[in-house]
Structure 1
Amino acid sequence: MITVTALWRHPIKSHGREAIKSVTLAPGQTMPWDRTWAVTHDKTKFDAQDPEWVACRNFMLGTLTPKLAGLWAKLDEETRTITLSHVDLGSLTFRPDDADDVQRFISWVTPLCPEDRLLPDGIASVPERGMTDSAFPSISVMNTASHAAVQDVLNQPLETERWRGNIWLDGLDAWAEFDWIDRDIAIGDTVLHVRERIKRCMHTAANPHNGVRDADTLGALRGQFGHQDFGIYAEVTKGGNISLGDKVEVL
């Protein structure tokens, strides 16, 4: 039996993650509060007066700034307040929609960023649209058995948080999720249409507890499995509630 074993949201793109116990998904939308905000830099092409989704290269990312992987988040939905924490910085509580708070955040997070790379200068958001890497509003689905397969190749413990997935599933064979492309999966009353595999970047090499690159995840994927993919992107076609332990059915 396939079941939901973990649920995660990432309120600020590439800046922390938060485990949750349940979520209500809506058709054609990302997971609520997932990638709601993204951190801009001086080469960002984003029109705050006419906000629309833009590609991930327009934002601060862990692939160029590995220490960002060490961030954890806690969101207060009612006040739209986030507390970020990092082993090197302590914690910061702020509101991403407040200009003064954004400046406090930039001052706090900049020490994690190499001086010769892009540096943070603001926070962007798009109404009713999470800033996913995919051009469509996606939910990322991960397989614990595929994670175990990569871990075995590396012969070292590997945290699932490295993959930044929304929904984790247990009870599958490794890589079985790749056979779901163009198929539907039902989780309770919710239905998701699987669109594509997720090609991975160097963000996955960084330890989520400190942001140090300590695992050759891409080398393991390419060398042992012949691809650079982990997880799948799906689109919500029928909304509903998803909770830990829910049964999953491939339609």
Structure 2
Amino acid sequence: MTVPAGGRIAQLVRHPIKSAGYEPVAEAVLTTGAAFPFDRVWAVAHAAARLTDPPTWAPKLQFLRGWGSADLMAVSCRSDAEAGQVTLSHPRRPTESFRPDDPADAARLIDWLRPLWPENRPEPARVIRVPGQALTDQDQPLVSINSASSLAELSARMGRDLSPHRFRGNIWVEGWPAMAELDLIGQEITLGQARLRVEEPIGRCRATGANPETGEQDADTMDALEGAYGHSDFGVFARVIRGGRIAVNDEVR
């Protein structure tokens, strides 16, 4: 399938701490063979995590994640990549700033997150960073691309407006037919100055049922996807094959 005409970047989002904060940005500079910039730089391991020393990439089950706590999905973020600082907000927590690479701030971050993590799960224990490796759910550097039209169609099927932040995507494209992105596997697309190759669909989990404004499970997105399309895929992963600047409103071709 050829790339649908008329697509534009509607939103760019990064998540400096895995599963703990989303941050819309106006632009980003993609690097060949790298994940989205300043995305999943840190992750918070729980007390039962099995990690190497020094840490390397590890599966998501070793970390705090939205599947385990809907409350985490309501964390929003502002960050300063150069300073290595993040400011986190939540409806039921005070807004605070952290430099996760600083041991004292890492301990404060864990304390800040602890009330948002279920008491019956292994407690937050350690902030992890792996230089040069994004702590995404995949052990390879991929960027996630989602369609605003697909979100609108799913919202209409469910009878409610769904926030894009339920899906923790990096790039949102408007102007494509709904779910057309799933037909682009193996195709190359150009966004702004960058070029990406679409690699695979994104299989979703129950974390998408959590409302990012309230931190409450209030929508059965998994059942809606299965009922409408016969699968739980939503969005696609792509690999950066030529780096460059991308920005909101850039054409996708």
TM-score by length of 2: 0.96
Q: CA–CA distance in 1 between the matches of 2:50 and 2:16?
A: 21
- Contact 2:152-2:161 within 8 A present in 1 as well: no
Q: CA–CA distance in 2 between the matches of 1:108 and 1:170?
A: 36
Aligned residue number for residue 32 of structure 1 = 37
Aligned residue number for residue 168 of structure 1 = 172
Distance apart, 1:45 and its partner CA: 2.0
- Contact 2:110-2:126 within 8 A present in 1 as well: yes
Aligned residue number for residue 77 of structure 1 = 81
- SS of residue in 1 equivalent to 2:137: coil
- Contact 1:205-1:213 within 8 A present in 2 as well: yes
1:62 aligns with 2:66: yes
List per-residue Cα deviations over 1:201-230 (Å, max 9, x = no partner).
111000101210111111100111111011
Alignment of 1:80-95 (within 5 A): 80-95=84-99
- Contact 1:200-1:218 within 8 A present in 2 as well: yes
Aligned residue number for residue 200 of structure 1 = 204
Alignment of 1:95-110 (within 5 A): 95-110=99-114
List per-residue Cα deviations over 1:156-205 (Å, max 9, x = no partner).
12111101100000111011001110111111221111110000011100
Alignment of 1:130-209 (within 5 A): 130-209=134-213
Find 1:41's aligned residue among 25, 43, 46: 46
Q: CA–CA distance in 1 between the matches of 2:82 and 2:193?
A: 26
Aligned residue number for residue 3 of structure 2 = none
Aligned residue number for residue 116 of structure 2 = 112
- SS of residue in 2 equivalent to 1:107: helix
Count of aligned residue pairs for this structure pair:
248
- SS of residue in 2 equivalent to 1:224: helix
Distance apart, 1:48 and its partner CA: 4.2
State the AA in 2 paired with 1:21: A
- SS of residue in 2 equivalent to 1:108: helix
Aligned residue number for residue 223 of structure 1 = 227
Find 2:10's aligned residue among 5, 12, 22: 5
Q: CA–CA distance in 1 between the matches of 2:180 and 2:171?
A: 15
Find 1:15's aligned residue among 20, 23, 28: 20
Listed as ranges, the gaps of 5+ residues in structure 2 are: 1-5
Q: CA–CA distance in 2 between the matches of 1:143 and 1:190?
A: 18
Q: CA–CA distance in 1 between the matches of 2:52 and 2:163?
A: 36
State the AA in 1 paired with 2:139: A
Q: CA–CA distance in 2 between the matches of 1:224 and 1:152?
A: 11
Distance apart, 1:112 and its partner CA: 1.0
Q: Percent identity?
A: 39
TM-score by length of 1: 0.96
Single out whichever of 130-139 and 199-208 deviates more from structure 2.
130-139
- SS of residue in 1 equivalent to 2:239: strand
Distance apart, 1:42 and its partner CA: 1.4
- SS of residue in 2 equivalent to 1:74: strand
- SS of residue in 2 equivalent to 1:223: helix
- SS of residue in 1 equivalent to 2:149: helix
List per-residue Cα deviations over 1:25-73 (Å, max 9, x = no partner).
0011011100000010112122242x32111111110101110001001
Aligned residue number for residue 244 of structure 2 = 240
Listed as ranges, the gaps of 5+ residues in structure 1 are: none
- Contact 1:88-1:210 within 8 A present in 2 as well: no
